[in-house]
Amino acid sequence: MKRFENKVVAITGGGSGMGKCSCKLFAEEGAAVAVIDINPVTAQATVDEITAAGGRAKAYTVDITSEEGMKNLFADIVETFGRIDVFFTIAGISPMGTAVTTSYEDYRKVMALDMDSVFLGCKYSIPYMEKQGGGVILNLVGTYGIRPTPNKLGYSAAKAGALAITRSVAIDFARSNIRCNAICPGFVDTPLNKGFEGEARDRFLRTYQPAPFLIQAEDIARTALFLASDDARAITGQAIVVDGGTEAALYLNYKRPE
C-alpha cells in the first residue's frame, strides 16, 4: 500500500517549483491532491500531469491572501474529497529591500502573502482536521525565517512570523492530534530563482553552501512526505532545515591564518 493512500493533501503554489513537485510526489504516493494556485493555467497543468499518470487531483484557483477564498477553499475540498489530511502552504514571493528601500505597500504585500496566508490556512483547515480526528500542516518557511540576510527585511519578517504561527499551532492543537511543522530550505533550484544562474549562482553556492550540489524541489518534497507521514508522528513545532548545511556554518570559507 502506498504511503498516502486514502489521504487528501492540499498544496498551495501547486503550479510551479516546490509546490508542483510536491503535488506530483504526494499523488504518486496515493494521495488525492488539491492543487492550489493563483495561476489557473499552471494549476491545471499540474492536475493534468497527475491524472495522466493515473492519479487523482483537482485544480483550485485561489488567491491565498483572500480570507473568503481560503474559507471557501477548504469547504470545497472537504465537499469534493470528503476530508483534508495534509495542508502544505508553499505559495509565496521573495522581494528584496531594507527598512528604508521597502515601501510600506510592498511590506504589507509580502506580509499578506508569506505570513497572513499561513494564518488563514491554519484557521480554516484546522476545524475540519479536528472534526476528523487529526491532520498535518506544513509551512514552507525558509532559512531566512530563522536568520535574515541583508536586503530582505519584509521577506525575513514574514517568514519569521510564519514560523511563530507554526509553533503556536503545534502547541495549541497537539492534543487534537494535529501536527504543524515548518520546512526551511536554503537555495533551491526553482523558477523563483530564475535570473540567478551561471557564475553568480555558482559563486554564491561555493561561498555559502557546504554541500556541493544544487538542492532541488524534490529534496523539499521528499522532506514533506516524511513530515506528513506517521514516521514523523512525534515531530511538531519544528523548523526543519533543508539547506545543505548553509545555516549551520558560520564563516564557511574562513581559513585560520598560519
Binding-site member from 146, 164, 192, 235 for ligand NAD (CB under 6 A): 192
Q: Which stretch binds ligand NAD (CB under 6 A): 31-39, 47-55, 170-178, 248-256?
A: 31-39
Joined together, the cell numbers standing for residue 125 give 483547515
Q: Does 121 bind ligand NAD (CB under 6 A)?
A: no
Joined together, the cell numbers standing for residue 170 give 503545534
Whether 124 is catalytic is no
Q: Which stretch binds ligand NAD (CB under 6 A): 47-55, 77-85, 185-193, 228-236?
A: 185-193
SS3 215: strand
Q: Give min distance, CB of 94 to ligand NAD, in A.
A: 4
Binding-site member from 4, 9, 17, 87 for ligand NAD (CB under 6 A): 17
Q: Does 161 bind ligand NAD (CB under 6 A)?
A: no
* Nearest to 121, CA basis, from 143, 105, 142, 136: 136
Q: Which of 104, 155, 208, 254 is catalytic?
A: 155
* Nearest to 89, CA basis, from 142, 30, 51: 142
Under rule CB under 6 A, how many of the chain's residues touch ligand NAD? Answer: 30
244 contacts 44 by C-beta, under 8 angstroms: no
Q: Give min distance, CB of 16 to ligand NAD, in A.
A: 3
Burial of 256 (0-12, 13-18, 19+ CB in 10 A): exposed
Q: Give min distance, CB of 161 to ligand NAD, in A.
A: 13
Of 85-114, binders to ligand NAD (CB under 6 A) are 90-92, 94, 113-114
Q: Does 191 bind ligand NAD (CB under 6 A)?
A: yes
Q: Give min distance, CB of 112 to ligand NAD, in A.
A: 8
Site track 47-86 with ligand NAD (rule: CB under 6 A), x = hit = ---------------xxxx---------------------
- Radius of gyration of the CA atoms of the chain, in A: 18
Q: Does 130 bind ligand NAD (CB under 6 A)?
A: no
221 contacts 151 by C-beta, under 8 angstroms: no
Distance (Å) of CA 213 to CA 70, 149, 191, 194, 255: 37, 21, 17, 17, 22
Backbone φ and ψ for 194, nearest 5 degrees, come out as -60, 140
Q: Give min distance, CB of 249 to ligand NAD, in A.
A: 17
Backbone φ and ψ for 158, nearest 5 degrees, come out as -65, -40
Distance CA 11, CA 46 (A): 11
Distance CA 74, CA 180 (A): 17
Catalytic residues: 155
List contacts with ligand NAD (CB under 6 A).
12-13, 15-19, 37-39, 42, 62-65, 90-92, 94, 113-114, 140, 142, 185, 187-188, 190-193
